[in-house]
Structure 1
């Protein structure tokens, strides 16, 4: 069973930021893929939401959990 986690993002201002955030999320163990925009991220896989938030913050941005669901 796969999980989709939606994060609300802050601090991203360009496509380079989007790429950096996507790369940080996809490096988290359990993430199969991530779709990132300037305002949010849809993360697929079974990674813990707190690890995802920590990865975003380590990349220099801010994130909070918006939603999480099993698919």
Structure 2
């Protein structure tokens, strides 16, 4: 027959304070918005750089995410 091993009762998960998570969530949100800007809007009148280097660098990602560029 098989033996059943007994384990100790599980303790409840520790709560993560909102004050520790909020700065990281804001930072991640800002990085995400910056990435969406460069992939989706970095060309033409809204361009921060005069050259097409950023556009060409993210060109395939633009089409993958559904942003038109032509």
Q: What interval of TM-score do these two structures reach, taking the shorter chain for normalisation?
A: under 0.3
**TM-score w.r.t. length of structure 2:** 0.25
Q: Between Structure 1 and Structure 2, whose CA radius of gyration is higher?
A: 2
**Structure whose residues are more often helix by fraction:** 2
**Relative contact order (alpha carbons < 8 A, sep ≥ 6): 1 or 2 greater?**
1
